[in-house]
Structure 1
Amino acid sequence: MTNHPTDMWSLIDAAAARAPLTAATLNDLLGVSLSPESGRQTAGPARLGSKFTVQQVGTVSRPDGAWVFSYFDFDTPPCVGLDEVKGRHPDIVRTAIPSGHSLEEKFVWSSKRPWGVLNFGFRERDYCLVTVSLHSPGDWG
């Protein structure tokens, strides 16, 4: 891929279009080199465009190479809230709520896709989108 996404929405769309994701796919998508770290491959930060940075990207596969999930962590000012995400992904449903241990915990809203599940994580303290993950069908996240 010669043109890397330049904003959060183009990144999410490009990742969803290429799922299931591999380290090579993410390297190509973001122009980074993922490196092994505690059983997963990670990289970051990755600057995309003039106003968007992925703080960390990672992917996890089973020992047999089967994809489990990939994620993108970011903190994009201004805050991207639930209404904006629902405007682009109206089928999302809430699938997880914070346990109450920290204001950094996340509410998760999810959408089933042919390749698995697209998840949007919103930080509890301000309900801003801070992570997006893509999970294989057997690993509903």
Structure 2
Amino acid sequence: MTRLTRSGDWTKALAVLCLAGWFGGCSLAAGHYGQDPQMTQPDMTLWQTIDALAQQIPFTKAKVESVLATHLVDRDTTKDPIQNAEFNFYVGGPGKMADGVVGGNVGLRVRHTGGRPGFLALGRLSGECVTLAMVRAHYSNLKITDSPRGHSLDETTAYSAFLPWGTLSFAFAERNRDCLEGVSFDPKIAAADNAVK
């Protein structure tokens, strides 16, 4: 695996390292706070959902709710007793997609002061198995940006595509290496000014 060494790559690495913790923390919160059984789930496949979400950069709670047809609630999943002064955290889910993929949770992080495009994670994917070969069929130029360190079966191998708007990462957990566990969107700051059209 190639180490990230360019200036600014540490933020990409940090985002990828947070995937496993983010998915786990959002899962519990979404299970209690984000479900709305009256919501209609989108009639889109996983790939259409990814494309539609990329069009919503910079992310807001309303934009993500609209694409995913789900309700997000304000929830700081850091479990820090001191309220986070930098970010609003929103969680929601679950939601079933047209191709049988089920997203167990949604996690959105948006800076209070604005000016940043946000960070979005779709985690605890289940239902129809999405393999690495299927991901590569849509995003052929993937690079490994994180790998397990042997501490937990929840650790993931992350494969990232570096797109004009930012980094799109696909996480495969050690517990089930053959099927996609989660997807995260880490837009570039410039993408907030030049939203994907």
TM-score, normalization: structure 2?
0.63
Distance 2:112 2:52 in 1: 26
Structure 2 residue identity aligned to 1:106: T
RMSD over aligned CA atoms reads: 2.0
Deviations 1:81-121 (CA, angstroms, capped at 9, x unpaired): 21111111001110000121111211001111222111111
Distance 2:99 2:165 in 1: 31
Distance 1:137 1:9 in 2: 21
Whether the 8 Å CA contact 1:5–1:30 is kept in 2: the answer is no
How far the C-alpha of 1:126 sits from its partner, in A, is 2.6
Greater fraction strand:
1
Percent identity reads: 30
Higher RCO structure (Cα 8 Å, ≥6 apart): 2
How far the C-alpha of 1:131 sits from its partner, in A, is 0.5
How far the C-alpha of 1:76 sits from its partner, in A, is 2.9
- Structure 1: give runs of 5+ residues left out of the alignment: none
Q: Which has the larger radius of gyration?
A: 2
Question: Match for residue 131 of structure 2?
Answer: 81
Larger deviation, residues 98-107 vs 76-85: 76-85
Larger deviation, residues 119-128 vs 88-97: 119-128
Question: Match for residue 167 of structure 2?
Answer: 117
Task: Tell me the secondary structure at the aligned position of residue 18 of structure 1.
Answer: coil
How far the C-alpha of 1:28 sits from its partner, in A, is 0.4
Number of matched pairs: 136
Q: 1:85 to 1:50 in 2, by over 3 A?
A: closer
Task: Tell me the secondary structure at the aligned position of residue 125 of structure 1.
Answer: helix
- Structure 2: give runs of 5+ residues left out of the alignment: 1-40, 77-87, 190-197
